[in-house]
């Protein structure tokens, strides 16, 4: 059903149209004819208003006690819990992932809000011994100030939540720029913050194009920090532009995550996990499995198992029951993924299964592509090196763990990785030598728990990690205090 609802920005506690009055429309990637609503297309002028509001409310918000700020986040959690299904359906409608994945995303967002709310009663500093008699010294946290939050479309609720919640508990005020194609989850999240009693100006939402609004946040001297998740290309630009303004910047970016399967692994479990890691959420997770590196002794058997599980996947509209894989999230994504598949073949890769856009019936209305497995791929093939961000898995045959590690580490990215083995010695050799920020043993490359840091090495991340204690370290400054009471 089409929705002609007109959505608004949220600035200084008010829902507003863009100053220019310009709007754009968002559609369902599972059915490109289904209009989901009209969204303000904002410009630098709207971003300026949001920065004004965040700057004016900073003093008051940062002087509310942290436990009181935590109470507001606990109220956010209660409201989210009562709207779980609506939030999950919104994610599926605008992003395309299947409803069970959207429900898991809502749960993840709630976990980080709970974790951050509890931190209101800690936000610890240290006391330390002074070198001078009758002196006391300690550290305490202060907020960074006004922070810009720039997020991608693939986790339209969880990624904003895992940035906004720690930012707020530390006493910062926020300007939130969600991805162009997934503004509805963002709007629903901000509505919940408003209902939970967040004072006007503490969170401000500005929708529209990243190159205009995002750039304004990076350039404005009143914004002290930027937390960005998205592509390595845009993250690199934000990091360098922000650094020239001496801003604190955190960028979580792309991945090319590999799973190694050794000959002693539980093959059934490993094959199931690799297929889910590669094709779940249509491969559009930064932690998705995009390479599988298999010891030669079990190569044929493992490939055969993966084929069985892949053929079993049901593709369709993620809002329907029993669907495993939804569409790609946009026409751009469809074009990008099919172009990569074509280049992979041109450069000598062989497709074992998949490789095509899905056509006919419901598929013509959405952006569907088959789950695709490549074999016999040269290490220098573009599909072996670059992030595709779709349901495409590249497999390699190796003679031992050392060769597998060489392939794993021979990419620009370093986000997540995994090994399947029962041999503790091999597992430790792997843990100690793999160049990724998150390392799994006998579990998929996916996800993470909110109380542990999340992020990658090399081109996958720069600046503080997100989540866990590191999230609070990014969104606060540590002040050293010296008191002479002699």
Smaller CB distance to ligand NAP: residue 177 or 291? 177
The answer to whether residue 230 forms part of the interface with ligand NAP (CB under 6 A) is: yes
Phi, psi of 206 (to 5 degrees): -125, 115
Q: Rounded distance, CA 288 to CA 33, Å?
A: 29
Marked catalytic residue, from 105, 252, 295, 466 = 252
Binding pattern for the stretch 2-41 against ligand NAP, x by CB under 6 A and - elsewhere: ----------------------------------------
Question: Are 327 and 362 within 8 A, CB to CB?
Answer: no
Q: How far is the CB of 247 from ligand NAP (least distance, A)?
A: 12
Instruction: Out of 62, 151, 250, 467, point to the residue binding ligand NAP (CB under 6 A).
Output: 151
Cβ atoms of residues 106 and 157 within 8 Å: yes
Tokens 């002087």 -> residue: 63
Q: How far is the CB of 82 from ligand NAP (least distance, A)?
A: 27
> What is the rounded distance in angstroms from the CA atom of residue 158 to the CA atom of residue 88?
11
* Nearer Cβ to ligand NAP (120/255): 255
Q: How far is the CB of 155 from ligand NAP (least distance, A)?
A: 6
Task: From 133-141, 165-173, 224-232, 295-303, give the range in contact with ligand NAP by CB under 6 A.
Answer: 224-232
DSSP assignment string, 218-270: HH-TTEEEEEEES-HHHHHHHHHHHHHTT-EEEEE----EEEEE-TTS-HHHH
Q: Which of 231, 347, 409, 473 binds ligand NAP (CB under 6 A)?
A: 231
- Angle at the Cα of 230 from the Cα atoms of 477 and 272, rounded to 5 degrees: 115
Q: Point out the catalytic residue in the list 95, 286, 370, 470.
A: 286
Name the one range near ligand NAP by CB under 6 A: 63-71, 120-128, 230-238, 471-479.
Answer: 230-238
Answer yes or no: 252 catalytic: yes
In the region spanning residues 253 to 272, those forming contacts with ligand NAP, defined by CB under 6 A, are: 253-255
Q: Contact between 286 and ligand NAP (CB under 6 A)?
A: yes
Short-list 123, 222, 124, CA closest to 166: 123
Q: Which stretch binds ligand NAP (CB under 6 A): 94-102, 251-259, 292-300, 362-370?
A: 251-259
Establish if 112 lies at the interface with ligand NAP (CB under 6 A).
no
Closest by CA position to 257, among listed 129, 168, 386, 448: 386
What residues between 174 and 203 interact with ligand NAP by CB under 6 A? 177, 179-180
Told to check if 234 binds ligand NAP by CB under 6 A, we report yes
How far is residue 45 from each of residues 42, 49, 51, measured CA to CA in Å?
A: 8, 6, 10
Q: Is 225 in the site for ligand NAP (CB under 6 A)?
A: no
Tokens of 255: 């991945």
Only one of the segments 81-89, 146-154, 192-200, 316-324 lies at the binding site for ligand NAP (rule: CB under 6 A); that segment is: 146-154
The CA distance from 302 to 330, in Å, is 32
In the complex with ligand NAP, the residue whose CB is nearer, 254 or 354, is 254
Helix (H), strand (E), coil (C) string for 148-216: EEECCCCCCCHHHHHHHHHHHHCCCEEEEECCCCCHHHHHHHHHHHHHCCCCCCCEEECCECHHHHHHH
Closest CA to 284 of 387, 211, 376, 355: 387
Coil, strand or helix: which one is 469?
helix
Binding residues vs ligand NAP (CB under 6 A): 150-155, 177, 179-180, 209-211, 214-215, 218, 229-231, 234, 237-238, 252-255, 286, 387, 389, 415, 456, 460
Active site residues: 252, 286
């Amino acid at each position: 059903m089409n929705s002609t609802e007109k959505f608004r920005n949220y600035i200084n506690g008010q829902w507003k149209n863009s100053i220019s009055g310009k709007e754009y429309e968002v559609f369902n990637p599972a059915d490109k004819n289904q209009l989901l609503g009209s969204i303000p297309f904002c410009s630098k002028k709207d971003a300026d208003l949001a920065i004004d509001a965040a700057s004016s409310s900073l003093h008051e918000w940062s002087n509310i006690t942290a436990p009181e700020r935590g109470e507001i986040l606990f109220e956010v959690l209660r409201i989210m819990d009562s709207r779980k299904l609506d939030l999950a359906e919104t994610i599926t409608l605008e992003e395309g992932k299947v409803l069970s994945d959207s429900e898991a995303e809502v749960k993840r967002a709630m976990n980080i809000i709970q974790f951050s709310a509890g931190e209101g009663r800690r936000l610890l500093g240290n006391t330390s011994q002074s070198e001078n008699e009758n002196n006391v010294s300690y550290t305490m946290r202060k907020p960074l100030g006004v922070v810009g939050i720039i997020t991608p479309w693939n986790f339209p609720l969880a990624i904003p939540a895992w940035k906004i919640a720690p930012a707020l508990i530390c006493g910062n005020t926020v300007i939130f720029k969600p991805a162009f194609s997934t503004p509805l989850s963002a709007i629903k999240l901000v509505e919940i913050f408003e209902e939970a009693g967040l004072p006007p100006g503490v969170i401000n939402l500005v929708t529209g194009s990243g190159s205009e609004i995002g750039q304004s946040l990076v350039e404005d001297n009143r914004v002290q920090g930027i937390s960005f998740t998205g592509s390595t290309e845009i993250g690199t630009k934000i990091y360098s532009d922000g650094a020239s303004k001496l801003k604190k910047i955190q960028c979580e970016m792309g991945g090319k995550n590999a799973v190694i399967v050794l000959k002693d692994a539980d093959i059934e479990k490993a094959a199931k996990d690799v297929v889910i890691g590669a094709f779940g959420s249509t491969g559009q997770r930064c932690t998705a499995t995009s390479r599988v590196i298999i010891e030669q002794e079990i190569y044929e058997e493992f490939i055969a198992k993966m084929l069985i599980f892949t053929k079993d996947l049901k593709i369709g509209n993620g809002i329907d029951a029993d669907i495993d894989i939804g569409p790609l999230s946009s026409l751009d994504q469809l074009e990008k993924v099919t172009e990569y598949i074509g280049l992979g073949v041109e450069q000598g890769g062989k497709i074992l299964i998949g490789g095509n856009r899905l056509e006919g019936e419901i598929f013509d209305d959405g952006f569907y592509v088959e789950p695709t497995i490549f074999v016999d791929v040269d290490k220098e093939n573009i599909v072996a090196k670059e992030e595709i961000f779709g349901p495409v898995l590249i497999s390699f045959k190796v003679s031992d763990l050392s060769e597998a590690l060489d392939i794993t580490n021979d990419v620009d990215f370093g986000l997540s990785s995994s090994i399947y083995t029962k041999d503790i010695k091999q597992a430790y050799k792997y843990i100690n030598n793999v160049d990724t920020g998150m390392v799994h043993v006998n579990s998929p490359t996916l996800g993470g728990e909110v109380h542990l840091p999340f992020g990658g090495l090399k081109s996958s991340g720069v600046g503080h990690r997100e989540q866990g204690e590191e999230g609070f370290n990014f969104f606060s400054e540590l002040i050293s205090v010296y008191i002479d009471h002699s």
